[in-house]
């Protein structure tokens, strides 16, 4: 990559064109390695580097919405090395939640879409996933002894994994039978749903006798999704005649407003670089910085383009991302969202207050502010189609957790 960057200032235009093309073709994984365009040595190389950034950002957003692919060849790799390969190839961050990690080396070969590959690894490690404290990250946790295998039990839709989890059957007072189907929704951590829309009317089921049935009335639900929720549980009720109370196929969809592809925007507070950065669909501007200790404060203005629906009511979920101040002595102060002020349907000013350093206060002003912000916000339709072994078989009576959500 260094050679390509140097060639952006080569004497021959053909060399400069070839270097720009090579950087674009290297793929979205290069986003974490490219220097800011502002650091380019000349006006032309800056313009070319800006085009590279825009091209890779667009490719990363497209990949995040449609799902990543992996190709893992073990050759005796440790579990930690496998996770590094996953992040390098897909941009997805997975981390261990416990110190007791698998000790067996990975010597096989796995390739294909992200979820089937990760499911195979988690089954080998007898583990599952849960939300991490850091946004756009998932933790690997030990699976309970009674926990089901992941391979062969779920459906996949782009970056999403959908697994039927419950099948409850109980008789109603009017002589009909209610079947309650549970669904567990997971997603690649390089995107994060801020809102999920779920409507029972988007579901269909085929009974054992071949008849199609629709769910009981419910209505469209808008579900704001805190970052601590993973996976997302959903339920859908079907009403069937008592003589035909089993299903052989279940289809449906959900809609998701997702923040995709986190990227760190760095503002050099000592070199006088303008406090405004644009990349992909987002512009981040450092409007104000108060470095008075022990609690510095900052205000960032964040604006998205190409947003399909108004974001105003969902801004808090989209912008709850890490912001930090870095000092010359290595001290880091992490920002906490203090206030979100919606300016328009797709822009806001987010004010942060920074936690004082755990040790003594820094003796010099901060050198850098780093804000990790999604490159885009997308509305994604996620479909599912379950039949045969992928339909849950456990049947039980009504229980306290069977109340309608």
Is 183 within 8 Å of 165 (Cβ atoms)?
yes
Same domain, 270 and 124: no
pLDDT tens-digit readout, 277-326: 888 889 999 999 988 766 789 999 999 988 878 888 887 777 777 899 99
> In the predicted model, is pLDDT for residue 35 greater than 80?
yes
Same domain, 299 and 247: no
Same domain, 373 and 265: yes
The verdict on residue 152 lying in a domain is no
The verdict on residue 147 lying in a domain is no
The pair of structure tokens assigned to 218 is 């419910």
User: Would you call 234 helix, strand, or coil by DSSP?
Assistant: strand
pTM value? 0.84
Q: What is the domain range of residue 189?
A: 157-258+386-402
Is 253 within 8 Å of 265 (Cβ atoms)?
no
Mean pLDDT of the chain: 86
Same domain, 59 and 205: no
Nearest Cα neighbor of 386 from 172, 236, 239 is 236
* d(C-alpha 345, C-alpha 383), whole Å: 27
Number of folded domains that form the chain = 4
pLDDT tens-digit readout, 319-353: 777 899 999 988 888 898 888 898 898 899 999 99
Residue 297: CB atoms within 10 A of its CB come to 15
Strand order in the sheet with 232-240: 155-157, 160-171, 177-187, 232-240
Q: The CATH number of the domain where 82 resides is what?
A: 3.55.50.30
The verdict on residue 148 lying in a domain is no
The verdict on residue 353 lying in a domain is yes
Same domain, 237 and 291: no
The verdict on residue 80 lying in a domain is yes
Is 9 within 8 Å of 42 (Cβ atoms)?
yes
The verdict on residue 187 lying in a domain is yes
The verdict on residue 151 lying in a domain is no
Q: End of a domain among 88, 119, 142?
A: 142
* d(C-alpha 14, C-alpha 307), whole Å: 37
CB-based contacts of 327: which residues, under 8 Å, 6+ apart?
333, 357, 362, 364, 365, 366, 367
């Amino acid at each position: 990559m260094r050679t390509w960057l140097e060639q952006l200032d080569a004497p021959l235009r053909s060399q400069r064109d070839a270097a720009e093309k090579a950087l674009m073709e290297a793929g979205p994984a290069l986003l974490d390695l490219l220097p800011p365009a502002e650091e380019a040595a000349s006006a032309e190389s800056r313009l070319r580097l800006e085009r590279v950034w825009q091209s890779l950002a667009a490719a990363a957003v497209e990949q995040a919405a449609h799902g990543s692919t992996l190709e893992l060849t073990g050759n005796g790799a440790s579990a930690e090395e496998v996770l590094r390969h996953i992040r390098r190839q897909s941009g997805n961050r997975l981390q261990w939640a416990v110190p007791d990690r698998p000790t067996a080396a990975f010597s096989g070969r796995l390739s294909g879409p992200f979820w089937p590959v990760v499911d195979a690894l988690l089954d080998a490690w007898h583990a599952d996933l849960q939300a991490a404290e850091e946004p756009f990250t998932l933790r690997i946790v030990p699976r309970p002894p009674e926990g089901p295998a992941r391979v062969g039990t779920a459906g996949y839709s782009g970056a999403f994994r959908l697994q039927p989890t419950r099948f409850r059957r109980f008789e109603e007072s009017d002589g009909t039978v209610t079947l309650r189907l549970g669904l567990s929704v997971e997603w690649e951590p390089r995107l994060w749903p801020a809102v999920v829309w779920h409507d029972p009317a988007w579901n269909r089921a085929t009974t054992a006798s071949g008849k199609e049935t629709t769910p009981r009335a419910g209505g469209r639900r808008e579900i704001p999704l805190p970052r601590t929720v993973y996976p997302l549980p959903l339920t859908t009720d079907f009403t069937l005649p008592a003589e035909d109370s089993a299903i052989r196929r279940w289809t449906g969809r959900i809609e998701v407003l997702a923040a995709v592809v986190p990227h760190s925007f760095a503002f050099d507070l000592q070199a006088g670089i303008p406090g405004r950065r644009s990349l992909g669909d987002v512009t981040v501007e450092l409007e104000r910085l108060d470095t008075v200790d022990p609690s510095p404060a900052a205000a960032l203005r964040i604006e998205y383009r190409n947003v399909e629906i108004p974001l105003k009511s969902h801004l808090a979920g989209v912008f709850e991302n890490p912001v930090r101040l870095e000092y010359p002595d290595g001290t880091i102060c992490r920002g906490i969202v203090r206030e979100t002020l919606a300016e328009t349907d797709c822009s806001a000013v987010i004010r942060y207050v920074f936690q004082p350093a755990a040790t003594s206060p820094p003796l010099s002003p901060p050198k850098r502010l780093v804000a990790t912000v999604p490159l885009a916000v997308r509305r994604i339709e996620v479909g599912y189609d379950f039949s045969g072994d992928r339909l849950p078989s456990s049947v039980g009576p009504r229980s306290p957790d069977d109340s309608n959500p």
